[in-house]
Structure 1
Amino acid sequence: MYKPVLFVLLFFRIWTVTAQDNTVKLSLEDAVGRFTTCNLSLIAERYNIDMAEAEIIQAKLFDNPVISLEQNIYNRNNGKYFDVGREGEAVVEIEQLIYIAGQRNKRVRLEKINKEMAAYQFEEVLRTLRGELKSKFIDLYYTQKSVSVYDREISYLSTLLNVYKEQSAKGNVSLLEKSRIQALLLSLQQERNDLSNELVTLQGDLRLLLGLKSSELLEPLFDESVLEHIDLDKLPFAELSARLSVRPDQKLAEAGIRASEADVRLQKSLAFPEVSLKGAYDRAGNFCNNYFAIGLSVSVPIFNRNQGNIKSARLSVLQNNSRAELVRRQVDNELFACYTKLEKALQLYRSSDYELERDFNRIIEGVNTGFQKRNISLLEFIDYYQAYKETCLQLYNIKKNVLQAVEDLNTVVGD
C-alpha cells in the first residue's frame, strides 16, 4: 500500500470531470490512484509477471517422447509392396529423455527467480513513474499559478493600452508612454506564451501517465497548507537510509545475483550425460519375429562438457555482484542529495515572507489607481509591474521546490 514518507497529499479527495469543458479535476492522491489502474506502461509491464509464471509452468514440463515408425517398402519374399501383414517388416521405437542431476528442478528454480525479478521490475517501473507523475503534477499546478499572474497583468495592461491609444490619438498622451506600455505588454505576452508551451507539454505528459483522452485537460487541485506540516526532524536521515534496502531496484539487483548463481548450478548439471530410455518392436527383421527390446542411450561428455556456458554463468555472478554494489551506492547518493536538497528548500521557504504576495496584490491595485491619477510616473508603474511579477513567480518557485523535493525523497526511499 502506498505510504509516503512525509504527508504532502491533500486533505481532501476530488475526482470529477466537468462535462462542459472536458476538464478533469484531480487531487494528487486521486491522480496517483488513477495512475496505478490506468497507466498503459504499468499495464504492459504487469504482463511480464504473468509471462514469467508461464515460463515456470514450461520449465516443469517433461520432454515429449519420440516415436519413430519404420515400414519395409518391398518384400522380396512374396513380391508385395508395403506388406503390412505378418510376413512384412515393420519397426516401432519410442524414446524418452530422462533428466538427471536435478536438471529439471534447477531449471524451475531459475524461472522462479526470474518471476521474482519481473515483479521487482514492475515495482521499479511503478516507483519511477509515480515519482514522475507527482513531480509533473506539482509543476503543472505552479505553472498554472504563474500563468495567472501574467493573465492579471496582461488583462489590465490591454485595457490601459486601449485607453492610451484613444488619448494618444487626441494628443492627450505622449507617444513615448503608449510605446512603453506596448513594449511591456508585448514582453509579458511573450513570457506567458513560453509558459503556455510548458503547460501544453506538461498536460500531454500527464495525460499519458493518467490514461486521459487527448481532449481532456487536467486541473490539479492542491492544498498548499501541507507545506506547514513538513518536518524533517521527525524523520532523521538514518531512518530513511534504513528503508533503502526495500527499494525494488535493490531487490532486483540482489535477485539478479541469485539468478546467476542458480544458472551456474543449472549449467553444471547440464554437463552430465544425456540419458534416454528406449523401447523397440521389430516384427520380422530380427533373429526372431515379433522382437521386443528396451534400451538406454547415454551421451559421452568427452568434447562438450558445457564448459563455455558454465564459465559464462560464473562471470555473470561477478558481474551482477558489481551491479548490485553500484545500485547500492547510487541509492545512497540519491538519498543524500535529495535529503540535502529538501533541507535547503525548507530553509529558504521558512525564511521567505509570504505576506509579500498578498501585499503586492493590494499594492498593484494602488499602483494602477495611482498611475491613472498621475500620482506615479510611467517608470515607477513599469517597475512595480515587473517587481510584482518576479516576486510572485519566485514565491511560487520556492513552494514548488519544497514539494518536489519532498516527493523526490519519497521516490528515493521507495514510497
Structure 2
Amino acid sequence: MKKVLTILSLGILGVFHGQTFIQAYQDRANQVTQTNITSLLQQFSNLGIKTTGSVANDNTLAWLKNQYQAYGYTAGQMTEDTFTIGSSTSKNLIVTKTGTVYPDIYVIICGHYDTINSPGVSDNGSGTSVLLEAARILKDVPTEYSIKFIHFSGEEQGLVGSNHYVNNVVFSNNVRQLNLKVVFNIDQVGGKISNPSNTVTCESDQSGQTGNNAASLAMTQQLAACTGLYSPLSVNMSNAFSSDYIPFENKGDIITGFYETPVSGNQHTPNDTLANVDPVYVFKVGKAAVGALQHFAVATTVLAIDEAQKNSDQIKIYPNPAKNILHIETPASLKNFTVEISDMSGKLVLKSENQNEINISQISSGNYICTISFNGEKTSKKIIIE
C-alpha cells in the first residue's frame, strides 16, 4: 500500500470525550502477546513473496486457514471468494463470527495478505498478524454484531480482491446483500525497527462520496479513543487512501483504519523484511485493535470461564521443543480426545486418539501446530520438533 499522509492534530482529551473505559475490553486487549505477534510475523516472512496468484500466495491462504482452525473456527465459518487477475486466480478468505443481537449486521476487520518485491512483513504481514490475534482472542467472546475477519488478496494490483468482494458479495447486481456497521482496515502497521514509534494513524474517509464522511469521522474518533484507552499508543488523524476499505467507501459504507506513523518507507521494496519491522509496535497496534473491535461489535463485558475452558487450561503439551516423544497431559475427567499435528501450511502429519505419549520420531524437524480436540472443543499450541 502506498500512502501520502496528511496529518491532522487532534487533542487526546477530545478523542476520549464521551467514551467509557471497560475493564473487560482491557483484559482481552491484554491477551495480545508479544510472543504470538512475533511468531506470526516470522511465519508470514517464511512464506516468501506472496504475489497474487503465485504458489506462495496460495500457501499463505492455506496457512491462514490453518491458523483459524487452530483457534477453533469451523469450516462452516470460513468461506473463500475467488477472483481472476490476468491469467491467474486468487482468493479472499472470509471468517464469520455470528453476533447475538444483530446477526445480520457486520463489523468487518480486514487486511491484505498479498505482497510484492519482498515477504511484505510490514505491508501487510503486520495487519495479517493483528487480525489473527484478534480472531484468536475473541473467538468465544459474545458480540452483539457479527464480525467478519477478511484477508484480501490482489490489493497490490489495485484493490482487485476487495473490489471483487464488494461488487459480488456485499452487492450483487448492484443490490446490497450485506448490511455493514463499519469496515476497519489494518494495512502496514509494522513500524521501523531503527526508529521506534509510539504513535499510530487513525484514518477516516474525507473524500470520495461525501455522504458518509461525517459517519466515518465519528467512527474514526471512536477508534482513536479506543487506541488511547486500551493501548499505550498515541494518535494522529489522517485521510483514508488507496487500501482495501476504498471499494466499500465507494459504495457508501462507513470506513476507518490503522496505518503506521512514521511511515517506514520499506513498502514495495526488498527491504520489507522481518529485520526491518518493529514487532513491539505491531504488538501495541494489536492491543488497540482488539479494544476497538470489541467496541465496534459491542462485546460482552462479562469475563466467564466455562467447563470447556477449564479443561483447555489444564491440558499440557510438553516438552517443547520435543524429540522422539511428545507428552499430552489431560485432566482426569477427560477420557476421549484427539491429537492432530499439522505443519505450518495446514497439512496433517499425525493423528492419534486418547494417547498421552505420542511417538514423533518420524516427523521432520520444524514448527508445527498441535491441536487437542475434546467434547466439541479444541485447544492448539505451536510446537517445535527437533
TM (norm. structure 1) is 0.18
Report the TM-score when normalising by structure 2.
Answer: 0.19
Specify which structure has the higher proportion of helix: 1
Q: Which has the higher contact order (CA 8 A, sep 6+)?
A: 1
